[in-house]
Structure 1
Amino acid sequence: MDRGGCRLNGGGGGDSDGSGSRAHGMITLEDLESFSEDQLSDSGNGSLEEEGETMEDDEPDRLLHYWQDVARGHQVEVPRDMATPIQQLTTNNHGSHERESIPFTLITRKEKCGEALYEKRHYEKAYWACITVHEETYEQSICYGFMKLMRYICQQNSSGSYLGMTIPIVTVVRTDDMHHTLSRSVTVAYYLPTPHQVQPPLPYDTDIVIEEWSATIVYTRPFAGPTNEETILHQINIMAEVLDSPGICLNDSFIVAGYTNPAAANRQNEIWFVERH
């Protein structure tokens, strides 16, 4: 299977020294789309505009080269054909542009000593673009899946247009019966923005499937920090402990929802348990 030039070895997304900086990890869709031109100018890797040059002259190449440099530090290779998606995500997803949040209805919220233990939410049925990946490690699968979805979002679809970003990006993970290990089968999913829900653009990539997810009840719990196999399994077990009746939704399939840049020191995530029908 073509990996789209995206490779990740070792690492695992954890902090290197407890300070929030990562020695190994991955570049994901959120890393690329959340980075602004101003941040790049202030990053210490050189200005986007140098004497005799303008941003318009070679902006896609500059953004690509920057992210290739960053990716090498995370043992990820960003292929040349990602230049256009990177440029589109960067220019469309900062400034006045707001990413659409997936709509839901809050049913109840349980707290203890002011801390949110979990929320019970209702999500309406909706269309998602999904790709299921079976790489050697969880991190490789996430990297590969995100790269594929980036191309779909950025014009490699039947509408020929940039579709727009939504949050969170979710990952469906599967465990063994005891919730001790993650399966290598990982599904990365992107909620189609509202204007595309009636008639979702079809992907050119046959590995991406448009699925209609039925309306469902979800129990969610927030957590901060990196998402890797160890932290995901830890959060699954915490959620099972705090739920009043975990049997109503406990099985071998769970969802990790990411809201912020995974390279951030205090990344915001949620673990989702889906209620059984």
Structure 2
Amino acid sequence: MDRGGCQMNGGGGGGGGGDEPEQSGMITLEDLESFSEDQMSDSGNSLDEDAKSMEEDRLLHYWQDVARGHQVEVSQEMAEPIQQLTSNNQGRSNRELVPFTLLARKEKCGELLWEKRHYEKGHWACVTMREDTYEKSICYGFMKLMRYICEQNSLGNYLGMTLPIVTVVRTDENHSVISNDVIVAYFLPVEHQAQPPQPNDNEIAIEIWPANTVYTRPFTGPTNEVTIVNQINAMAEQLDSPGANNSFIVAGYTNPAHVNRQNEIWFLERP
């Protein structure tokens, strides 16, 4: 089965040995923005085929370097999608946030404890993965969505990026163990909501998610089994009604290699 050109080395969320810090297995589009303007100045539609090939290789090597910090290997076949994502996402102005209405928020001593938001129904591109570790499932799922965003769709066009990329996770009754079955999902940009482009990959499904009210809690740092379980339990302590039974959402906004990566844990409000 095609795994989107990405495979994990090692298990869990642990580091690769030595003094390297522990990192998550998730790679997002934000990694591509680590290039400086000088590094990106030679990319663009004006490149001839040889120059384009050299640029793709350069970007691929950079992506591979980032991925090694997550114990992930990225294959050569990801070179073209990576180049497209980089050239189309050099600025943040074209990156949409999933729209929501803020209903309430709670702070303590200037710290945001949670927000209550309402999200309208909308189309999401979703891929369900069932690998032997949580990190593998996230990695393989995101690489598939990455290809869908980069022309492997019925329009044959780059679709544009939205944030956050979300992962639906499930736990046991005690909220102490995360299932390896995860759903990685990407919200279709507004211009594609009415007529979502269909994926070439039949493992990606276009789904209409119903309107939902969610409680969100921000946190920084890597996302792995340990941090997610800790955040779920921390959020449950803040809420009188903890929300969804054993199903939660992890929302990622920024580069996972960044020391202060911005994430949220989402609880769905019970009907």
Q: What TM-score, normalized by structure 2, do the two folds share?
A: 0.89
Show the counterpart of 1:107: 103
Question: Runs of 5+ in structure 1 lacking a partner?
Answer: 42-46, 49-53
Show the counterpart of 1:123: 119
SS of equivalent to 2:6: coil
Cα displacement (A) at 1:245 = 2.4
Percent identity of the aligned residues? 64
Cα displacement (A) at 1:5 = 3.1
Look up the equivalent residue of 1:244 and give its one-letter code: D
Which structure 2 residues correspond to residues 57-76 of structure 1 after superposition, within 5 A? 58-76=54-72
* 2:147 paired with 1:151: yes
CA deviation map 1:199-231 (0-9, x unaligned): 000000000000000011000000011000000
Larger CA deviation: 108-117 vs 25-34: 25-34
Show the counterpart of 2:8: 8
Question: Runs of 5+ in structure 2 lacking a partner?
Answer: 44-49
d(CA) in 1 for partners of 2:166 and 2:102? 19
2:83 to 84, 87, 96: 87
Question: Could you tell me whether the CA contact under 8 Å between 1:12 and 1:24 is conserved in 2?
Answer: no
Q: CA RMSD in A?
A: 2.5
Show the counterpart of 1:189: 185
SS of equivalent to 1:34: helix
d(CA) in 2 for partners of 1:32 and 1:113? 33
Show the counterpart of 2:37: 38
Question: Could you tell me whether the CA contact under 8 Å between 1:257 and 1:269 is conserved in 2?
Answer: yes
Question: Could you tell me whether the CA contact under 8 Å between 2:24 and 2:256 is conserved in 1?
Answer: no
d(CA) in 1 for partners of 2:13 and 2:30? 13
Structure-2 change in CA distance of 1:111 and 1:97 (3 Å): closer
Cα displacement (A) at 1:23 = 5.2
Cα displacement (A) at 1:115 = 1.0
Structure-2 change in CA distance of 1:218 and 1:118 (3 Å): same
Question: Could you tell me whether the CA contact under 8 Å between 1:10 and 1:24 is conserved in 2?
Answer: no
Question: Could you tell me whether the CA contact under 8 Å between 1:106 and 1:121 is conserved in 2?
Answer: yes
CA deviation map 1:214-265 (0-9, x unaligned): 011000000011000000000000000001322xx23010000001001100
d(CA) in 1 for partners of 2:23 and 2:237? 31
Look up the equivalent residue of 2:207 and give its one-letter code: E
Question: Could you tell me whether the CA contact under 8 Å between 2:66 and 2:257 is conserved in 1?
Answer: no
Structure-2 change in CA distance of 1:24 and 1:276 (3 Å): closer
**After TM superposition, which residue ranges in structure 1, 4 or more long, deviate above 4 angstroms?**
11-17, 54-57
Cα displacement (A) at 1:111 = 1.0
Show the counterpart of 1:26: 25
CA deviation map 1:147-172 (0-9, x unaligned): 00000000000011000000000000
d(CA) in 2 for partners of 1:182 and 1:39? 42
Show the counterpart of 2:224: 228
SS of equivalent to 2:201: coil
Question: Could you tell me whether the CA contact under 8 Å between 2:11 and 2:133 is conserved in 1?
Answer: no
Structure-2 change in CA distance of 1:215 and 1:39 (3 Å): farther
Cα displacement (A) at 1:62 = 1.2
d(CA) in 2 for partners of 1:64 and 1:166? 22
Cα displacement (A) at 1:55 = 5.7
d(CA) in 2 for partners of 1:206 and 1:235? 33
d(CA) in 2 for partners of 1:213 and 1:188? 13
CA deviation map 1:13-39 (0-9, x unaligned): 56899x9x7355435133444333537
Cα displacement (A) at 1:132 = 0.5
Question: Could you tell me whether the CA contact under 8 Å between 2:31 and 2:256 is conserved in 1?
Answer: no
